[in-house]
Structure 1
Amino acid sequence: MTADTRPAHATIAQKLRDELTHYAPGDQFPGDRELAARFQVSPMTARQAVAALVTEGRVYRVRGSGTYVAEQPVHRRMSRLLSFTEHMRRQGRIPSAAVVSMSERDGSREENADLEQPGEGSVIALSRVLNGDGVPFAVEDAVLPLRCAAVRDADLTRSLHAALGECGHRPVRSRGTMTAEPATPQHAKLLDVAIGTALMVQRLLLVDEQELPVQLVVVRYVGERIVFDIDQERPAHLDQPGGPVDAPYTFPSLNSDVG
């Protein structure tokens, strides 16, 4: 058996991560002195172990009260196109959505160009709050072309991807950008967070199996409730002289809010 060469606080932190599965959000977590006695280390070492969990967002400290278990974030794989509903179910949570608004309106020139429909065409604007176990995780503002008008009759408290699939336009690929921004008063109210809370913002264009655009969407996630997992490889062309340069994804209609 290989000896554990990690510092004591790192070993303890890993054991505490494993134990967190036995706690519910809001439960009080053992204090530094209790952990020090249990693991037979100094209070400073125990404090370092707990600090690692605080940094990861697994627990949080309340001055004068103690340490508590935080709501665990949802993980999303950046390399896979899965709906919010699918991600939630894979992690044992109950997904739902609340429709904030839905309307048909004239599309902007940029929206119609990105959605590959006539310049004077109409679009469907849909705004929803995406929930997991009843907790708001994101605000989704989507614009759909009229070729997807059948989604207006679908149950939009469930997966929009599923609704698009049922009308023959299942999303199979997306491309776009990710940025960060503070929550506005409107988004803070919808997401039940403080104004200025950090939001992770995805701006995406989704296409179906016929390579037809089916959705322009801006999704604003509460930063502390979501973790984006990344799996990357170095492209071979970067090691070849004169290789192609990666061009940025640019969708004029996503440079500002949609919906």
Structure 2
Amino acid sequence: MSKKVPVYIAMHNELRQKVLSKEWEKGKKIPSERMLATEFNVSRMTARQAVSSLVEEGLLERKQGAGTFVASDKIREKLSGIPSFTETIEKLGKNPSSKLVSFYIKHASESEAEKLQIRQDEEVLIMERIRYADDTPLCFEVATIPYHIVNGIDKEDLKQHLYQSLADIGYHVARAEQVISATWASEYVADMLKVKRESPILRLKQVSYTQEETPFEYVRAQYVGTRYEFFIEAKSN
């Protein structure tokens, strides 16, 4: 390895090429740090540094009790405009689908009432869905909509074509406010998304507004951190 750069950087570069050249295939378990240290004639500490740097880059991922693996490709959503989940997945050449988990009406919680600018004694429709790409669960989504908006719409239409049903009655998303944070998968969400409890989760909260600035949908979505990522392009003024 080159002496012009730190040893762990040179090792990092060689391991990175193994991933990029597909010598190490997606999802494949890589040799242990002890084995890599022997192969590259370096210390365990140096091997750990090289592997850790690739984990930080997202090229490798550690699985507790199983070892280190080449990371699978993530679905990337660019946060520009208001793209739908379906459009995002289709643009990547994958098949989007959804599974309805629950569909019911209740009184709004304090946070739901605040986000939707309604009274707490007003009824809201709750829809819980799992969103998939090629049958791989990516997201657990809870949508809250004021019931007076959807009252009168056929339930099966709402269950199967929520956004089209809303658009048909004039509720188009003119703008949306989004907040993204990190959390861990609860036992319930982990079961829905087929991951281990306390797996890393990207949580997206979104309030959608009409052209008249009327909030009509409050969504809480939880994405599997190892399968999905958000991309933001920033420009200077």
Fold-level match, TM-score > 0.5?
yes
- State the Cα distance separating 1:110 from its structure 2 match: 4.8
Secondary structure of 1:154's aligned partner = helix
Q: Determine if contact 2:103/2:127 at 8 Å carries over to the other structure.
A: yes
Shift of the 175–59 alpha-carbon distance from structure 1 to 2, 3 Å rule, reads same
C-alpha root-mean-square deviation of aligned residues, in Å?
A: 3.8
Match of 1:192 in 2: 194
Match of 1:205 in 2: 207
Render the CA deviation track for 1:23-61: whole Å, top value 9, x for unaligned: 4x43466999xx9xxxxx956599977665443333447
Question: What is the one-letter code of the residue matched to 1:201?
Answer: R
Indicate the residue corresponding to 1:251 in structure 2.
none
Match of 2:155 in 1: 152
Aligned pairs (5 A) from 1:225-240: 225-233=227-235
Q: CA deviation at 1:153?
A: 3.1
Partner of 2:82: 81
- Rounded Cα–Cα distance in structure 2 between residues aligned with 1:211 and 1:151: 26
Residue-by-residue CA offset, 1:69-123 (whole Å, 9 max, x unaligned): 4321111222332111111112222111111101112224553453244553211
- After TM superposition, give the deviation of residue 180 of structure 1 in Å: 1.9
Superposition pairs of residues 1-259 of structure 1, within 5 angstroms: 12=14, 15-20=17-22, 23=25, 25-27=26-28, 42=40, 52-60=53-61, 68-108=69-109, 110-117=111-118, 120-145=121-146, 146-149=148-151, 150=153, 152-154=155-157, 156=159, 160-233=162-235
**CA contact under 8 A between 1:109 and 1:120: conserved in structure 2?**
no
Percentage of identical aligned residues: 26
2-structure distance, mates of 1:61, 1:205: 34
Deviation digits for residues 181-216 of structure 1 (CA, Å, limit 9, x no counterpart): 221111111111111112111121111233221211
Distance in structure 1 (CA, Å) of the matches to 2:114 and 2:184: 29
CA-CA distance at 1:170 after TM superposition:
2.3
Deviation at 1:165, TM superposition (A): 2.5
1:150-174 deviation digits (Å, cap 9, x = unpaired): 373326456x444432342122321
CA contact (8 A) 1:161 1:171 kept: no
1:110–1:185 Cα change, 3 Å: closer
Q: Determine if contact 1:54/1:60 at 8 Å carries over to the other structure.
A: yes
Counterpart CA distance in 1 for 2:212 and 2:203 is 27
8 Å CA contact 1:57, 1:72 repeated in 2: no
The alignment partner of 2:21 has SS state of helix
Contact 2:12 2:51 in 1 (8 A): no
1:177, 1:204 within 8 Å by CA — same for their partners in 2?
Answer: yes
Q: CA 1:49–1:91 in 2, change beyond 3 Å: closer, same or farther?
A: farther
> SS of the residue aligned with 1:55?
helix
**In the superposition, relative to structure 1, how do residues 155 and 29 fare at CA in structure 2: closer, same or farther (>3 Å)?**
farther
Q: 1:20 to 1:97 in 2, by over 3 A?
A: farther
Give the secondary structure class of the aligned counterpart of 2:98.
strand
Alignment partners' CA distance in 1, 2:114 and 2:67: 55
Calculate the TM-score normalised by the size of structure 1: 0.68
